[in-house]
Amino acid sequence: MAEKRDYYEVLGLQKGASEDEIKKAFKTMARKYHPDLHPDDKEAAEKFKEVNEAYEVLSDSQKRARYDQFGHAGVDPNYGGGAGAGAGGFGGFGGFSDVSDIFESFFGGFGGGSRSTASSANAPRRGGDVNSNVTIDFMEACKGVKKKMRITHMVKCDQCNGTGADANTTTSTCTECHGRGSVQVNQRTPFGTVSSTRVCSRCGGKGKIVTNPCSKCRGSGRCRTTSDIELKIPAGIDNGQVLRVGGQGDAGLNGGPSGDLNVSVNVRPHDLFTRRGVDIYCEIPITYAQAVLGDKVTVPTIKGKVEYDIPEGTQSGTKFRLRGEGVKYLGRESYGDQYVTVVVEVPRKLTRQQKELLQKFDDSLEEKNQAKRQSFFEKLKRRFEQQ
């Protein structure tokens, strides 16, 4: 696995950098590597991605704290390198992220554990992710919203402070693994029999057995509980997107970082607007006279309303664009557009007098007033003449 660069290094910063310094450095670097300035430049694209990733972590105080403590493994569950805090590296053949890892593991196992995981007996292990979902209104998705929600997750047991042991307990060395926390297992593979190490199932990798386990968590060090959290949903979120909240999943083991909370967001439809990506679509009904004469109409937008000049002679079904009146791009200060379709409403239930006026008006029309109709009848006439 390629070594990941230190996030501070990526942004050209020292570890104790202030929030302002981080923001400034990000702006400079993002501008430097922006894909618009380097079209088709793969290296710049990679750099741009790296800068964004670094900023995503360092600009979030919770993620930054975890990164400072545990490095990449603290903020990226897929990151297998580093101090062994990642989810990989345990449990036989699960959790490999690429082929080279598998080979390393197979061949690393030869010759008696040259890449022994025994040292990971008490290594911190990241807690699992927790999945949940939330339903919000259309406008809340456009503008961003804070939502209180209740989640169920594993937290550190407050009675034993996560040790799993009763206050008056003694601990003894695990007889299964002799305190190493891992056991050697032989496994048949396409490459022959390979011995590898696995977390000891008796002590769960701790290397010790607690004689008087904590009564609340029954020795696991964690308890399942419900927590009320406030979820900050950013402006621009769309139906079906998943928000990842760092550190709100299950508590880690042996002081490892907590997993994340993944919240999938459902957005209720709106009665005036529909949305495709960051663009908003709506229809506005206008009268026949407005279409013929032109008029100033009020168009609702997600931010309020705008005035729009419908030009004289607008046809039903004409679509116009309101630039920048759409939804905010997630995590960016730019906006989509709004498309408005004008629909001419044909009046119904006219009085006799109204009908007469309309008939008079219709009789007064000349061919040049209705070009489409004129050309249609010309085509029709030619067709009949051919037959």
Residues within the interface to Zn ion (CB under 5 A): 157, 159-160, 174, 176-177, 200, 202-203, 214, 216-217
Task: Give me the least distance between CB of 7 and Zn ion, in Å please.
Answer: 34
Closer to Zn ion by Cβ: residue 51 or 177: 177
The closest of 227, 346, 215, 201 to 287, measured between CA atoms, is 346
Distance of CA 96 to the CA centre of its chain: 23
CB within 8 A of 207, min separation 6: which ones? 121, 122, 173, 174, 177, 179, 180, 181, 200
Task: Give me the least distance between CB of 178 and Zn ion, in Å please.
Answer: 8
Closer to Zn ion by Cβ: residue 89 or 219: 219
CA distance 51 to 80: 21
Task: Give me the least distance between CB of 49 and Zn ion, in Å please.
Answer: 42
Task: Give me the least distance between CB of 222 and Zn ion, in Å please.
Answer: 8
If DSSP codes are grouped into helix, strand and coil, which group holds residue 112?
Answer: helix
Task: Give me the least distance between CB of 115 and Zn ion, in Å please.
Answer: 20
Task: Give me the least distance between CB of 234 and Zn ion, in Å please.
Answer: 36
CA distance 121 to 181: 4
CA distance 341 to 297: 13
DSSP-H helix ranges across 173-285 = none
Q: Which amino acid is at 376?
A: F
Beta strand ranges found along the chain (DSSP E) = 130-136, 145-156, 171-173, 182-189, 192-199, 208-210, 222-233, 242-245, 261-267, 274-276, 279-287, 295-301, 304-310, 319-322, 338-345
Closer to Zn ion by Cβ: residue 54 or 177: 177
Closer to Zn ion by Cβ: residue 72 or 206: 206
Closer to Zn ion by Cβ: residue 153 or 328: 153
Task: Give me the least distance between CB of 30 and Zn ion, in Å please.
Answer: 46
Closer to Zn ion by Cβ: residue 120 or 338: 120
Task: Give me the least distance between CB of 164 and Zn ion, in Å please.
Answer: 6
Closer to Zn ion by Cβ: residue 77 or 164: 164
Query: Given the structure tokens 């009020």, which residue do they identify?
Result: 298
Largest CA distance in the chain: 108
Residues 305, 288 contacting (CB under 8 angstroms): no
Closer to Zn ion by Cβ: residue 189 or 212: 212
